[in-house]
Amino acid sequence: MATYYTEPSRTFSEYLLIPGLTTKACTPANVHLKTPLVKFKKGEESAIQLNIPFSSAVMQAVSDHHMAVALARAGGISFIFGSQSIEEEARMVSKAKSWKAGFVVSKSNLTPEHTLADVLELKERTGHSTVAITQDGTPRGKLLGIVTSRDYRVSRDSSAKQIREFMTPFSSLVYGQSGLSLGDANDLIWEHKLNCLPIVDADQNLEFLVFRKDYDAHKENPLELLDENKSYIVGAGINTKDYEERVPALVEAGVDVLVIDSSDGYSEWQSDVIRYVKSNFDVKIGAGNVVDREGFRYLVDAGADFIKVGIGGGSICITREQKGIGRGQASSVIEVAEARDEYFRETGIYVPICSDGGIVHDYHITLALAMGADFVMMGRYFARFDESPTRKLKVNGSFVKEFWGEGSNRARNWQRYDSGGKSNLLFEEGVDSYVPYAGSLQENLDKTIGKIKSTMCNCGALSIQELQQKARITLVSATSLVEGGAHDVMLKESGISGD
């Protein structure tokens, strides 16, 4: 007879945190979000620790080398998608690994035809006083000059003055050629008393800016996740089919950590992959996805360094509808976290778990952490940003970005859904969609992290570990959910004019 669970499987929106005592020391500035990525023994530290508990999904529409650099710079990790050729994936890993900390893609750009008013407006909006002037106004366009606040006087100059009249033109700029090392860039900065050194390619197209202040202390990215060679830490996805060719290529490219990307990871295939990797390479490997104690234990016994949790909760995922398998994300995390703690008590080995998929609101992240996740993996969240690899389009007057599932016909990642049959995707388990465009990763992360830290203070917790110990979590009734949003008021519509 089948086994029946007495409890329904639940999702994050069904829970809330109840505040604990907030001491005066418990301020967001004192909260840290450091968290282990890979397993470690009691009393020791994890060999890789994230500075923020975020990872980006192993998906074509989310994690390429650009995302990997941007997220590592912020303190998290990307897992570059594996549903591409081995060569392409290895190339992306190697690009991300060779990206040098200190080189930034220019965030404020205008053309010579723009005016002083545009410069001032941009400065007000972004806070950056250095503006790259390129032919087409893009961060990678032909560099024609630079504007800094030393180039104009707001009190004297007309705001209609064109940039071409007051920028420092390319002919007077000190610049570096692409391929310059950070050390050499810094020498130029000091020699010429610069604040910013543009790096251009052979065709004068702008590649990066190197700021004096970035080199000095990496102050802008105090949380960046670097290896001992000051390269960003980068992850990559693998599958249970071509791992004997893919893993050596990724290791050669310098990958720091692998993850077996599968919709259902409780399988002998995964166990084989973990054992192969462990006996041939010195590289960390995560496995999954699982939703219960048994799945966790099976993959941990095979040697996995972390376990990914979640089936069917992803925003683009239709696995539950198509196959009738899965479990509410909250219930999955709660049970696997219990299994992880049990395993730790028994063996003294702590195996981090990652809650993957189904994060809709920022507070879902805090709940996942409070329920025992060590970090989360998100697809939709990151797909909305400039740094994701997909096209930005205007649909019905609003900017959107494309976002498609690995199990959709567009990605055709059959290896992720394979259970030993033919080498193709028999039916779709994901959809092709749009998500609202949301701007830059860092701006959004700052807001999300601000909310998480604030909630942690409400709960009296200064670290994720403390949150997990102290959190008090309640189920919410369907009726009380209504109370959580704005209710019994008439919302003002934007754009209504007065008198």
269-295 per-residue burial string, b: 16 or more CB within 10 A, e: under 16: bbbebbeebbeeeebbbbbbbbbbeeb
For residue 416, indicate whether it is catalytic: yes
Catalytic position from the list 73, 297, 340, 416? 416
- For ligand RVP, the closer CB: 215 or 269: 269
CB of 134 to ligand RVP, least distance (A): 34
* Structure-token pair, residue 288: 């999954």
Catalytic position from the list 317, 354, 457, 459? 317
458, 17 Cβ separation under 8 angstroms: yes
Q: Confirm or deny that 238 is annotated as ligand binding.
A: no
DSSP alpha helix (H) spans, 22-99: 65-74, 86-98
- For ligand RVP, the closer CB: 82 or 176: 82
- For ligand RVP, the closer CB: 89 or 224: 89
Residue nearest to ligand RVP (CB): 430
Contacts of 427 (CB under 8 A, 6+ apart): 322
19-43 per-residue burial string, b: 16 or more CB within 10 A, e: under 16: ebeeeeebeeeebebbbbbbbbeee
3-state SS of 100-120 is: ECCEECCCCEECCCCEHHHHH
The correct pick among 377, 400, 449, 461 for binding ligand RVP (CB under 6 A) is 377
* Structure-token pair, residue 155: 């009190």
The correct pick among 37, 52, 57, 163 for binding ligand RVP (CB under 6 A) is 57
Task: Determine the 3-state secondary structure of 134 from DSSP.
Answer: strand
Q: Confirm or deny that 317 is annotated as ligand binding.
A: yes
Piece of the chain touching ligand RVP by CB under 6 A; list 207-215, 341-349, 350-358, 386-394: 350-358
Q: What are phi and psi of 256, to 5 degrees?
A: -90, -35
> What residue ranges in 212-318 does DSSP mark as E strands?
235-238, 257-260, 284-290, 306-309
- For ligand RVP, the closer CB: 253 or 311: 311
For residue 459, indicate whether it is catalytic: no
* Structure-token pair, residue 452: 């998480």
CB of 484 to ligand RVP, least distance (A): 20
Q: Pattern 378-417, binding to ligand RVP, x per CB under 6 A?
A: xxxx-----------------------xxxx---------
Binding of ligand RVP at residue 317 (CB under 6 A)? yes
CB of 387 to ligand RVP, least distance (A): 15
The correct pick among 75, 358, 372, 389 for binding ligand RVP (CB under 6 A) is 358
Q: Confirm or deny that 63 is annotated as ligand binding.
A: no
d(CA 52, CA 33): 5
| Residues placed in the known binding site for NAD(+) | 261-263, 310-312
The residues that are catalytic are 317, 416
Q: Which residues of the shown chain bind ligand RVP in the complex (CB under 6 A)?
A: 57, 59, 314-317, 319, 356-359, 377-381, 405-408, 429-430
